[in-house]
Amino acid sequence: MEDMLGYIRKYPEMILDAIEATKRAALPSYEFDRLLVCGMGGSAVGGDLATDVMRAYGIPLQIEISRRYALPPHVDRNTLVIFSSYSGETEETLSQFAEARRKGLQMICMTSGGRLKKWAEDLGVPFVEMPAGFKPRAALPYSLFTVIEYLREAGKLDISRDIDETVQVLTELRDDPQKDNEIMSLAGLMANSRISVYAADAYEAAARRMKNQINENSKLPANWDVFPEMNHNEIVGYEDNDLNKESYVLLLRDADEHPAVRTRIEATKEIIQGKVKGVAELWAVGKSKLAKEMSLVFLGDVLSYYLATHGKKNPDKTANIDALKAVLKEKLNTQEKIEKELV
Ligand code: PA5
């Protein structure tokens, strides 16, 4: 089995494999004008990225992510509900699956196994099967590119050329030892810090992903926000304060960012520099929005891996999540209860 860095380096191949797996699944052509992605943690971020992509390409399809036990009340027969759970065992996602089933909604699943796969098979819900054996967060290309391919098949989005560019950009980044060294050195500077990730609003999903990866892979406290919103609240938290001496600020940049956002980022840097341990920048690579966003995801994922190695942490393990899931199983056993009602 690969280590976490091995999986991250395989993102170009995973993108192509995700597209093939979606084609093989021969999903039905549903009629929908709204998309709801139900998932948690690493399995929800594909939906966040799809949201950024739809907005960047000006696609007027409403897309929403549901990280909860219950579906939002406005889902209806014109909504396509996608259930994303790598393990297929996440109780919030399974609970929404059961509700969608009761309501007779249009459903698709993305999973590598567990109850979600079994229920999909038993109940005839179409699904895309992801390969087994990954850590859920390392399977991110599957959850994003399954959605992108399905939207292409549904005639709602065609960005095939930008997918090619994305594969090329990620392959070049992976094969660039200088870039790798740069990220490794950055991890050395940022090690043992509380990390705040900020991006322009167009890269909201990349910022959130980076924060999650720093939590889960590097075992460090982290938060995220976007410009311009953080200029209306979060920036005030950087007024002289000893607490910020342990904070490292990571800015996600794009050479083509909106001029007003650029001015805000530069001014924010001036204001907070000197009050925190350090400020660093990661620049998006590529021409298309898809390639740029995925390059930030890739660089952030590699950074989270090197932060883990600097802190002598195992990026594969998420002991607190496992401990919590064990308590929930013992006290609630939600999955089994839902299963009894469903079958
Ligand atoms: O990356 C992780 O391991 C977590 O964030 C999981 O994705 C999260 O707990 C949900 O599990 P799953 O992706 O299997 O539904």
40 lines ligand 1 (CB under 6 A): yes
Closest ligand 1 atom to 135 CA: 3
Q: What is the pLDDT of residues 161-192, one digit of tens each?
A: 999 999 999 999 999 999 999 999 999 999 99
Model confidence at 204: pLDDT above 80: yes
Q: How far apart are CA 268 and CA 144, in angstroms?
A: 32
- pLDDT at res. 318: 96
- pLDDT at res. 337: 93
Q: What is the pLDDT of residues 300-340, one digit of tens each?
A: 999 999 999 999 999 999 999 999 999 999 999 999 999 99
Q: Which of 301, 321, 324 is the pocket-test mutation for ligand 1 (most atoms within 8 Å of CB)?
A: 321
- Of 128, 41, 127, 145, the closest CA to residue 91 belongs to 41
Q: What percent of the chain has pLDDT over 70?
A: 100
Query: Which residues, 6+ apart, have CB-to-CB distance to 250 below 8 Å?
Result: 190, 195, 196, 197, 198, 210, 279, 280, 281, 282
C-alpha 238 – ligand 1 centre gap (Å): 32
Q: How far apart are CA 140 and CA 153, in angstroms?
A: 20
- pLDDT at res. 331: 95
The yes/no answer on whether domain 176-310 falls in CATH 3.40.50.1820 is no
- pLDDT at res. 1: 58
Q: Give the pTM.
A: 0.97
Q: How far apart are CA 168 and CA 96, in angstroms?
A: 37
Q: How far apart are CA 294 and CA 96, in angstroms?
A: 28
C-alpha 197 – ligand 1 centre gap (Å): 21
Q: Which amino acid is at 263?
A: T
The three-state secondary structure class of 39 is: strand
Domain boundaries, the chain: 4-158, 176-310
Confidence category of residue 36, pLDDT binned at 50, 70, 90? very high
List strands edge to edge, sheet with 278-283: 222-227, 194-200, 247-253, 278-283
Q: How far apart are CA 292 and CA 61, in angstroms?
A: 22
For atom 5 of ligand 1, which residue has the closest CA? 41
Q: Would the CATH topology of 4-158 be identical to that of 176-310?
A: yes
Model confidence at 343: pLDDT above 80: no
Residue with tokens 């998309």: 35
Please, which residues bridge with residue 78 across strands? Answer: none
Longest Cα–Cα distance in the chain: 60
Model confidence at 115: pLDDT above 80: yes
Closest ligand 1 atom to 85 CA: 15
47 lines ligand 1 (CB under 6 A): no
Q: What is the pLDDT of residues 206-223, one digit of tens each?
A: 999 999 999 999 999 999
For atom 7 of ligand 1, which residue has the closest CA? 42
Q: Which of 87, 119, 322 is the pocket-test mutation for ligand 1 (most atoms within 8 Å of CB)?
A: 87
Residue with tokens 């098979």: 121
42 lines ligand 1 (CB under 6 A): yes
Residue with tokens 């939906």: 47
User: Among 96-100, 238-242, 297-301, which is the least confidently predicted range?
Assistant: 238-242
- pLDDT at res. 240: 82
- Of 29, 30, 33, 31, the closest CA to residue 61 belongs to 33
C-alpha 73 – ligand 1 centre gap (Å): 25
Q: What is the pLDDT of residues 228-285, one digit of tens each?
A: 999 999 999 999 889 999 999 999 999 999 999 999 999 999 999 999 999 999 999 9
Please, which residues bridge with residue 107 across strands? Answer: 81
Pairing of β 62-66 and β 34-39: parallel
Active site residues: 216, 232, 325
90 lines ligand 1 (CB under 6 A): yes
Beta strands in the chain (DSSP E): 34-39, 62-66, 79-85, 106-111, 127-129, 194-200, 222-227, 247-253, 278-283
Q: What is the pLDDT of residues 11-34, one digit of tens each?
A: 999 999 999 999 999 999 999 999
Rounded-to-10 torsion of CA 236, 240, 241, 242: 150
Q: What is the pLDDT of residues 76-91, one digit of tens each?
A: 999 999 999 999 999 9
The yes/no answer on whether domain 4-158 falls in CATH 3.50.50.60 is no
User: Among 99-108, 140-149, 175-184, 333-342, which is the least confidently predicted range?
Assistant: 333-342
Closest ligand 1 atom to 42 CA: 7
